[in-house]
Amino acid sequence: MMKKLLVPVATALAAVGGAWWYAGSTTAELATLIPPASAQESATTSSAVALVPDMILGDQNAPVTVVEYASFTCPHCANFHDTVYDEFKKNYIDTGKVKFVYREVYFDKYGLWAAMVARCGGPEKYFGISDMLYDGQRDWLASGADQGIADELRKIGLKAGMTADQVNACLNDNDKAKAMVTAYQTNATNDNVKGTPTFLINGELHSGEMSYADFAALLDAALAN
């Protein structure tokens, strides 16, 4: 199974950034709180690419490229992280067989906030923070409404070695938030992504949860081509 994308989120999320005062837990409710000018001020595709680069692990010249589309609030993505990712990384990324590209999907403002914290530490800390977000997903999502979740995400940033000022600056960077949403929608539209987790293995689309054995079989088939 996978978590499906239900509605477009660019307008709804473009201005939330670190704006904890926005009420409403659904995308539709949040959209009504954003002034029309916010949509007009959303990032262009070119600026988004510059501000929101892909996060990549592995050999740039590896024979197979795997692109994962995932959300930090998606339980199916957390399950992939818990049951498949470590073996995948050890056997394919670390051995030079696969270049791994991770692309964020935002179902809701909490997924966007989590991604902003992950990116706050730069590429060198991104995947370590991602591990923390997935490992503790149930805990930080269960910490209450906006302020509670924001506080838990700040704690993760602090645990990753950032200062409180750094984390707060990242969470309140609305220009970055707009660019992230623009990059997400552009990539997901171009790659025909309908839900998470979704994987492109040398450009071939695979959606839904998989066991390590099934995922490895797809990778081995791509390596054999």
Tens-digit pLDDT string for the chain (225 aa): 555 543 333 333 333 332 222 223 233 333 332 233 344 445 566 666 667 899 999 999 999 999 999 999 999 999 999 999 999 999 999 999 999 999 999 988 999 999 999 999 899 999 999 999 999 999 999 987 889 999 999 999 999 999 999 999 999 998 889 899 989 989 999 999 989 999 999 999 999 889 999 999 999 999 999
Other beta carbons within 10 Å of 159? 12
| Cα–Cα distance for residue pair 117/161, rounded to 1 Å | 12
Does 15 reside within a domain?
no
24 within some domain: no
pLDDT at 48: 65
Amino acid at 145: A
Residue that has been written with the tokens 């409180």 in this structure: 164
User: Which residues constitute the domain of residue 198?
Assistant: 3-10+59-224
State how beta strands 55-57 and 64-70 pair: unpaired
Residue 19 forms part of a structural domain: no
Maximum alpha-carbon separation in the chain: 52
Q: Answer whether 117's CB lies under 8 Å from 134's CB.
A: no
Provide the pLDDT for residue 107: 86
CATH number at 162 reads: 3.40.30.10
Residue 48 within any structural domain of the chain: no
Domain count, the chain: 1
How far apart, in whole angstroms, are the C-alpha atoms of residue 143 and residue 53? 30
Judge whether 163 lies within some domain.
yes
Residue 38, in any domain of the structure: no
Q: Which among 107, 120, 99 is positioned nearest to 171, based on CA atoms?
A: 120
Asked if the structure places residue 200 within a domain, the reply is yes
Count the residues in the chain.
Answer: 225
Q: Is 16 among the domain residues?
A: no
The tally of CA atoms less than 13 A away on the side-chain side of residue 40 is: 3
